[in-house]
């Protein structure tokens, strides 16, 4: 017989109970971590989406850079990427 999938609220309750108990071995630790991740995912469902969060983060970073530029902490607010001609190869990766 096929198992029924639990609703998100039921799974959340089970995860909360599981997180209360300290894991004793590696397998339980993996289940404990998975439960913590599911709990954080369940809590963040009502929040705004990733795109709007990234957009607001970019705006706040622009404001912070402008303030730092005004105070003379940084030379410029230029966010252009490093051109390929300036990259130096170190082993397998470039800086």
Tell whether pTM > 0.75: no
- The answer to the question of residue 71 being in a domain is no
The pLDDT tens digits of the residues spanning 28-59 come to 999 999 999 888 888 776 666 667 777 888 88
In a domain, 85, yes or no: no
* pLDDT, tens digit (0-9, with 9 covering 90-100), for 57-78: 888 888 887 887 777 666 554 5
Q: How far apart are CA 80 and CA 89, in angstroms?
A: 20
Average pLDDT value over all residues in the chain: 76
Query: How does 65-89 read in b/e, with b if 16+ C-beta sit within 10 Å?
Result: beeeeeeeeeeeeeeeeeeeeeeee
pLDDT at site 24:
92
Residue 15 lies in a domain: yes
* Domain carrying residue 35: 8-46
Section 8-18 average pLDDT: 86
């Amino acid at each position: 017989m096929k198992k029924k999938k639990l609703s998100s609220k039921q799974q959340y309750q089970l995860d909360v109970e599981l997180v209360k108990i300290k894991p004793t071995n590696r397998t339980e630790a993996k289940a404990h971590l998975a439960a913590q991740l599911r709990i954080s995912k369940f809590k963040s469902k009502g929040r705004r989406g990733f795109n709007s969060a990234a957009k607001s983060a970019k705006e706040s970073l622009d404001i912070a850079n402008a303030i730092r530029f005004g105070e003379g902490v940084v030379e410029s607010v230029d966010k252009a990427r490093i051109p390929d001609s300036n990259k130096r190869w170190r082993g397998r990766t470039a800086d």
